[in-house]
Amino acid sequence: MPTTSGDRRRILALGGGGFTAAEPSAALDALVLRLTGKRVPRICFLPTASGDQREQVIRFQERFAAWPCERSVLSLFHLAGTQIDPRAHLLSQDAIYVGGGSMRSLLAIWREYGIAETMREAWEAGIVLAGVSAGAMCWFEAGVSRSAGRPEPVLGLGLLPGSLSVHCDSDPERLRAYLRALAEHALPSGYAADDSAALMFAGTELLTCVASRNGAGIRRITIGRPEPIQTPMPIRRLEETAPGAVARRGIGYEDRLALAEFRALRSGRYS
């Protein structure tokens, strides 16, 4: 999808919500497809962070079956007996959507299978990278994960500079841990995102913040004295997306993004 910066690398990081949370609004999920600029994009879902939880896979198939796209699921826990080359499959996609769960486990498994390097290749090739919760924090230098129970800093892939904390409105303890880590200089400055809110990047530049419900917000958190400085970010409310239909109006942000229009299908077969 073209941007004024000319950088074709795109990342959409969701603080929560989307199909994995059974969110009624499909606006953020529809946006992932729109960012590809393709009429019938190929999208692959990675449920690695949840241990390839079947429920997430079913929700993915149900949500995206209503739209013109080629869906696939890459299960790293069940590769045995398949003919799938993970690297080749991921690099053949137009969008890669990463689910939530344990950020620590997600990255450990990715590194074991060489997926971490493949994600950088995909990003450099202009494949849209999207993810929710752990699947959003993983693109940054670091995030705040509950992989071990208590929220704690975990290093990410570092495609994006800074840090990200998620579920800020629904998990106050995580936000407190994030602010404490920043005050102790254990994490670099970054962002705190509510459920149903997302940050959109072209390359390493933040283009806009969007939300699928009223009240969902994102704050820029910078290291300061005596405590971190929280600055609310301008946020654009996305239109509701009814089942079987995708809103045609672009999200807009000073006309820096032009979303591709495509026609929705009312029904589809699961792949």
* Superfamily of domain 10-237, CATH level 4: Class I glutamine amidotransferase (GATase) domain (3.40.50.880)
Is 32 within 8 Å of 128 (Cβ atoms)? yes
CA distance linking residue 204 with residue 159, whole number of Å: 8
Can you give the pLDDT at residue 242?
47
Q: What is the distance of C-alpha 246 from the center of its chain?
A: 19
First to last CA, the chain: 26
Distance CA 152, CA 174 (A): 8
Whether 172 contacts 194, CB under 8 Å: no
Candidates 25, 75, 102, 133; catalytic one: 133
Active-site residue, 78 included: no
Q: What is the pLDDT of residues 188-233, one digit of tens each?
A: 999 999 999 999 999 999 999 999 999 999 999 999 888 899 999 9
Looking at every residue in the chain, the average pLDDT score rounds to 86
Closest Cα to residue 70, out of 79, 78, 60, 80? 60
The secondary structure element, H or E, covering residue 120 is helix 115-124
Q: Please report, for the chain, the start and end positions of each structural domain, with discontinuous segments joined by +.
A: 10-237
Q: Is residue 250 scored above 50 in pLDDT?
A: no
- 167 is an active site residue: yes
Per annotation, catalytic residue among 145, 147, 167, 196: 167
Could you give the percent of the chain with pLDDT greater than 90? Answer: 73
Percent of the chain with pLDDT strictly greater than 70: 86
Does 246 score more than 60 pLDDT?
A: no
Neighbours of 61 (CB within 10 A): 17
Average pLDDT over residues 113-124: 97
**pLDDT of the residue at 5:** 53
How high is the pLDDT of residue 218? Answer: 97
The answer on pLDDT for 243 being more than 80 is no
